[in-house]
Amino acid sequence: MLESLKEEVLAANVDIERQELAKLTWGNVSGIDRERGLIVIKPSGVPYSKLKIADMVVIDLENRKVEGALRPSVDAITHVLLYRAFPQIGGIVHTHSPCAVAFSQALREIPCLGSTHADHFLGPIPLARVLTPEEIREDYEGNTAKVILERFAGLDPLDMPAVLVAHHAPFIWGRSAREALKNAVALESVADMALKTLALNPAAPLIPEHMLKEHHDRKHGPGARYGQESP
């Protein structure tokens, strides 16, 4: 069941390591089949180089396992709750990519300082609030999704396909697992650029609003003119 989605999710998980977005097993990718309401996700704790298509775990939107011999990623409930809240998205990536983590740990949003950032993300990368001790005790992974969704009140998840979890790391998404992985690569790259910019000039100004909108709209707006026409 869901063979092509499993292949896409497997390839995106392998790309976490290939793109140097996480060491060891500090990351996971999932993808959803919206018609069936089923999610394919990485199994917990299996190294990327050893992952096989048969290892992929299928869960439903109630976080119940539907197929697969292995346990799903411990972050599965976070993925499930994001899919439930954001019907526009089709894939989710979680990594511990170091430059994005630096902002999570510093409890700072990633400011939008230039056009590379604006091409992918419409504004600063939001930071979700720190979880309370009760929230961690009661349901750590579920409440991680809760604080992300709190922060996204009024934000469009396709205009802003990433969030920083305080003291933790980013979650990134897209219309597919493949697109989510691409956004994860872009996020780490813009975090790296922002760190270097702020090291050179801690008072570096934000990109002007008109330039932010122009860069984002030419890739994502109704009159998008970046790349080739889709078939």
Catalogue the active-site residues. 119, 226
- 85-93, 135-143, 168-176, 222-230 -> range binding Zn ion (CB under 5 A): 168-176
The site for Zn ion, by CB under 5 A, has a size of 1
Question: What is the full DSSP assignment across 141-199?
Answer: HHHHHHHHHHHTTT--TTTS-EEEETTS-EEEEESSHHHHHHHHHHHHHHHHHHHHHHH
- 137-145, 166-174, 175-183, 207-215 -> range binding Zn ion (CB under 5 A): 166-174
Nearer to Zn ion, 185 or 207 (CB): 185
Any residues with CB less than 8 A from the CB of 221 and at least 6 apart, and which? none
Tell me the C-alpha distance between 85 and 114, whole Å. Answer: 30
Nearer to Zn ion, 94 or 120 (CB): 94
Tell me the C-alpha distance between 119 and 200, whole Å. Answer: 23
Report the nearest approach of Zn ion to the CB of residue 209 (Å): 33
Tell me the C-alpha distance between 208 and 91, whole Å. Answer: 31
Report the nearest approach of Zn ion to the CB of residue 94 (Å): 6
- 11-19, 126-134, 153-161, 169-177 -> range binding Zn ion (CB under 5 A): 169-177
Nearer to Zn ion, 164 or 212 (CB): 164
Contact 154/192 with Cβ under 8 angstroms? no
- The residue behind tokens 């933790």 is 168
- 14-22, 100-108, 136-144, 164-172 -> range binding Zn ion (CB under 5 A): 164-172
Nearer to Zn ion, 44 or 63 (CB): 44
Residue 211 burial by Cβ neighbours in a 10 Å radius (0-12, 13-18, 19+): middle
Tell me the C-alpha distance between 8 and 30, whole Å. Answer: 9
Report the nearest approach of Zn ion to the CB of residue 169 (Å): 5
Residue 168's closest CA among 145, 185, 189?
A: 145
Report the nearest approach of Zn ion to the CB of residue 171 (Å): 9
Report the nearest approach of Zn ion to the CB of residue 52 (Å): 23
Phi first, then psi: give them for residue 163, nearest 5 degrees.
Answer: -145, 150
Nearer to Zn ion, 89 or 169 (CB): 169
Using CB under 5 A, list all residues that contact Zn ion.
169
